């Protein structure tokens, strides 16, 4: 009885701490960060949750859809060039981020024009797909640079205590906004597609264009990060890494390969299970809701817990999630439910894993060096994920279209996550007390941040 009371008391204390942290996060001094996270979440309308159903609707083969998905991921490798760009621009992190955000987040406008062109018969399917792929690649490169730079920006303008509080919860706000918008949009598109055909996709893309412009304005209002330059000793490919950093990069790369091997759930649901584009979007909304809950809880645990243990747990959850679609046999009543479960579990694993990976990088690396090390992480994981997606596209192109090719890829992805989970057991113990790019840590190479 006493043991049960003790567990209940600890649980109540944990929830009270979680709520207290959220009250601190909602402080008006973080309002600019709240606004930016909300707009980033609304940009889901220019993401693959809408792009993939649109591509399939204009005749894109599933194998090609997998290859298109590799384009923005490959863009993540561009982050490796950011330290040199910062050096050449005299540490102008703000200017580089604003430029990348302005171009990358304006992609919704171009997608809208493509959708209108196809609907009016001005663009054929092949030219539309080529143009779509080109925009996805360019926007992927710039959005990757923008997103990674913002993490460094947050570290430059927030003290360590505030960074641990704010950054994980920004992800929660963005996911919540995505879920709240995507679910009704999926239902609306299903209803209106019968009346307006492909032209209906112009609506979410146009809204994304508006949100993209608003996002650029929100970035402009962030506190200025000052002059940020990565130290020369961290610029070279052979810059020293601790055993913990090497191991973290290795398991992250393995996990990224598994992510690349995973077929798009929407492609599988529409092309193999025969479900609708609306179901695909509502599945995405369910996954986002699960992601919000997981990120809210996981972010609270990270503030005072081990990022290494949470990262390892995420690998196990994702391994289970990617096994479930194999059981979703075409034509069965359980298939839609299993896809919802897959999307939810995969999102839980992704959310807590992404939070843990970002936090672990910040705790392992000190000062402006975090920009270079984050670039290495993005380069290696992007290369691994791109490789996996190319393999996925080739498998779907070679294996006769249907259940077997997808089942093989889901099984391979699950097995890779099991390997990452096992490899993470031997991870070297990190220094989890390090600060990231805070004004005090960056004092030797960065001027003090200016006002907002």
Q: What are the structural domains of the chain? A: 32-426 (1.20.1250.20)
Residue 314 has a CB neighbour count (10 Å cut-off) of 27
User: What is the model's pLDDT at position 230?
Assistant: 62
Q: Which of 349, 148, 377, 154 is nearest to 245 (CA)?
A: 377
* pLDDT recorded at residue 349: 92
pLDDT at 69 over 90: no
Query: Per residue in 36-64, pLDDT tens?
Result: 999 999 998 888 878 888 888 888 887 77
**Residues ≥6 apart with Cβ < 8 Å to 3:** none
Whole-number Å distance between alpha carbons of 384 and 263? 15
% residues pLDDT > 70 (the chain): 81
Q: Which residues, 6 or more positions from 87, have their beta carbon under 8 angstroms from its beta carbon? A: 229, 230, 235
2 confidence band (pLDDT: 50, 70, 90)? very low
Question: What's the average model confidence in pLDDT over 332-358?
Answer: 89
- Residue listed under structure tokens 């992601």: 291
Please compute the mean of the pLDDT values over residues 374-400 and round it to a whole number.
Answer: 80
- Summarised one tens digit per residue, pLDDT across range 397-426 is 787 667 888 999 999 999 999 999 988 875
pTM: 0.68
When the pLDDT of each residue in the chain is averaged and rounded to a whole number, the result is 79
318 pLDDT tier (thresholds 50, 70, 90)? very high
Mean pLDDT of 25-29: 89
Half-sphere exposure of 253 (CA within 13 A, CB side): 15
Residues in CB range of 278: below 8 A, 6 or more apart: 186, 187, 189, 190, 191
């Amino acid at each position: 009885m006493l043991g049960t009371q003790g567990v209940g008391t600890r649980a109540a204390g944990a929830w009270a701490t979680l709520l207290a942290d959220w009250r601190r996060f909602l402080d008006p001094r973080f309002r600019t960060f709240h606004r930016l996270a909300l707009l980033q979440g609304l940009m889901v309308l220019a993401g693959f949750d809408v792009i993939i159903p649109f591509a399939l609707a204009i005749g894109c083969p599933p194998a090609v859809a997998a290859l298109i998905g590799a384009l923005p991921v490959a863009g993540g490798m561009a982050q490796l060039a950011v330290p040199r760009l910062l050096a050449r621009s005299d540490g102008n992190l703000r200017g580089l981020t604003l430029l990348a955000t302005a171009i990358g987040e304006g992609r919704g406008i171009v997608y809208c024009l493509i959708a209108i062109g196809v609907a009016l018969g001005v663009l054929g399917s092949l030219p539309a797909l080529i143009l779509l792929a080109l925009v996805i690649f360019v926007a992927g490169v710039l959005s990757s640079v923008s997103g990674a730079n913002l993490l460094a920006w947050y570290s430059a303008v927030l003290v360590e205590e505030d960074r641990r509080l704010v950054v994980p919860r920004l992800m929660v706000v963005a996911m919540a906004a995505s879920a709240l918008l995507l679910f009704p949009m999926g239902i609306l598109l299903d209803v209106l597609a019968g009346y307006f055909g492909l032209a209906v996709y112009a609506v979410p893309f146009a809204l994304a264009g508006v949100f993209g412009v608003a996002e650029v304005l929100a970035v402009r209002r962030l506190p200025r990060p000052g002059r940020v330059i990565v130290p020369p000793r961290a610029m070279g490919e052979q810059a020293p890494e601790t055993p913990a950093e090497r191991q973290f990069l290795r398991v992250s790369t393995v996990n990224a390969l598994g992510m690349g091997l995973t077929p798009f759930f929407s492609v599988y649901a529409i092309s193999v299970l025969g479900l609708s584009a609306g179901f695909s979007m509502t599945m995405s909304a369910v996954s986002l809701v699960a992601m919000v809950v997981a990120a809210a809880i996981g972010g609270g645990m990270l503030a005072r817990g081990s990022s290494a243990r949470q990262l390892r747990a995420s690998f196990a959850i994702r391994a289970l999630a990617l096994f479930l679609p194999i059981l979703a046999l075409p034509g069965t009543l359980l298939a839609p439910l299993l896809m919802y479960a897959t999307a939810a579990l995969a999102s839980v694993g992704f959310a807590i894993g992404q939070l843990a990976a970002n936090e672990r990088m910040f705790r392992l690396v000190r000062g402006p060096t975090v920009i270079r090390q984050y670039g290495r992480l993005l380069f290696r994981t992007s290369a691994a994920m791109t490789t996996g997606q190319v393999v996925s596209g080739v498998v779907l192109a070679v294996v006769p279209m249907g259940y077997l090719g997808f089942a093989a890829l889901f099984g391979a992805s699950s097995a890779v996550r099991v390997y990452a989970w096992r490899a993470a057991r031997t991870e070297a113990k990190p220094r989890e007390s390090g600060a990231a790019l805070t004004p005090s840590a960056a004092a030797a190479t960065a001027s003090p941040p200016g006002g907002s």
